[in-house]
Every structure is written in structure tokens, then in C-alpha cells.
Amino acid sequence: MFFRKNIKIESLNDCLEFAFRMLEKGASQYRHAFHFPALISGDPHGVEARIVILRSFSKQERYLLCHSDIRSAKIRQIQNNSRVSWLFYDPKKAFQLRISGKAKLHTKDALADEQWKTVRMTSRMNYLTPLPPGHALDSASSGLSGSFSEKVMNSLDKDAGRENFALIKGRIENMDWLVLGMTGHRRAQFSWRKEELKASWVVP
């Protein structure tokens, strides 16, 4: 039996259920630590990590969703190599969760349309830069053209920016679970192959 503030773990199943609860909260609560994972992707040219917002999580289908500009480096990387990793950490619980699996990109389908509807007007501005994310600028700027009110008006046009919107849907194939504790840490690993779950405690 392992206790840490608000975490009571007696079995591998407890670990898994705890991780799923944290992901559910991360996807639904703006201030939750799991709302801001690092998404890691790589191709033969290198590996990159960046913070994204966890938009949705499905326990049944085991996937994670985040949004991105279709013109960004991460999209090119995922097109080259669909294997990605997600890194979560809650400092209050000293809980780290690493997830990896294949990611799919959705741009012009019903799922992307459905997610686009959830993007707030103020956030739609992010998809309106004439130049792609990462493009060099002569001086510090939001990259948006025109005045602020014009940008807001543009984003009020409900489909302005839609062509630059992409959805990253990551499948949960492997999970590495770690809680730090004063009396020793606890670590477990989970992997799903063809829906069959393998779970094991491992040395932290």
C-alpha cells in the first residue's frame, strides 16, 4: 500500500485509474496541472518538445487531443514520424506521467470541424497570421496583420483561420507512471498491444 497526499495506491489498477482521472481533469479543468502537457515529436532532423493544451481525453478509446496550426513544425514532424510522446507533471502530487503512441492529424474532416467549433473567438486569432509559425520577423510582433480590433473582427468571422487549423489525436499505447514519495518512489508501466494490456511495477 502506498500513500501520498490524496493518492492511495494498492494495485496496478489503482495506478491506471488514478492516471485516467488526472487526464480527465486535465482535459476539463483550465487550471489543472495536466491541462498543459509537453508534446514531443521527432524526425530524422531532430526532436522537439513544446507545451500544448490538452483539449480532450477518452478513456474508452485511449486518445488525447490537442490543437495546432497546420503550418507549424510539429505537424511536419508528425507527418514524417507519427510516433509522439506526451509528458505530464503535477508538482503538488509529485506525479509524472509519460505517454507514447502514434498520432493522427485531422484537418478537413468532421472531427476537425467539431473541434474548431470549440475554439474560442480570441484563440481563433492564433490561426490568422499571414506567415507560418516559426517564420522570421524583422521586429517583435504577434505576426498578425492590421489593428487589434481588426484581428478580433476577423476572428469573429466564424471560419477565419479554419484553413490553418489542425487536430492532433494521439493514441495511448504506452504509459509510464511515477509518483515520488518520502519512503521511496513507485513506478509502473502499462502497454496495450491489440487491446491487450500488459502492466508491471518497475524499479523507479
Give the helix/strand (H/E) hosting 47.
strand 46-51
Which residues from 136-195 bind ligand FMN, rule CB under 6 A?
none
In whole angstroms, how close is the CB of 101 to ligand FMN at the nearest point? 18
Q: Does residue 33 touch ligand FMN according to CB under 6 A?
A: no
Give the chain's count of helices (H) and strands (E): 5, 12
Among 8, 45, 50, 158, indicate the residue that binds ligand FMN (CB under 6 A): 50
Q: How far is the CB of 146 from ligand FMN (least distance, A)?
A: 22
The whole-angstrom separation of Cα 41 and Cα 74 is 7
Among 68, 85, 129, 164, binds ligand FMN (CB under 6 A): 68
Q: Which is nearer to ligand FMN, 164 or 190 (CB)?
A: 164
Give yes or no for residue 66 binding ligand FMN (CB under 6 A): yes
Asked if residue 35 binds ligand FMN (CB under 6 A), the reply is no
- Which DSSP string corresponds to 49-111? EEE----EEETTTTEEEEEEETTSHHHHHHHH--EEEEEEEETTTTEEEEEEEEEEEESSSHH
Question: Distance between CA 147 and CA 128 in Å, rounded?
Answer: 13
CB 191, CB 175: distance < 8 Å: yes
Piece of 61-69, 86-94, 140-148, 170-178 that binds ligand FMN (CB under 6 A): 61-69
- Taking CB under 6 A as the criterion, the residue among 118, 131, 134, 137 binding ligand FMN is 134
Q: What is the per-residue burial (b if ≥16 Cβ within 10 Å, else e) of 96-105?
A: bbbbbbebeb
Told to check if 133 binds ligand FMN by CB under 6 A, we report yes
- Cell numbers 480532450 correspond to what residue? 56
CA 174, 38, 26, 152 torsion-angle sign: negative
Nearer to ligand FMN, 18 or 116 (CB): 116
36 counts as binding ligand FMN under rule CB under 6 A:
yes
Q: How many CB atoms lie within 10 A of CB 67?
A: 20
Span near ligand FMN by CB under 6 A; candidates 51-59, 104-112, 136-144, 174-182: 51-59
Piece of 25-33, 70-78, 94-102, 188-196 that binds ligand FMN (CB under 6 A): 70-78
Under the criterion CB under 6 A, does residue 67 sit at the interface with ligand FMN? yes
Question: What residues line the site for ligand FMN (CB under 6 A)?
Answer: 36, 48, 50-53, 66-68, 72-74, 133-134
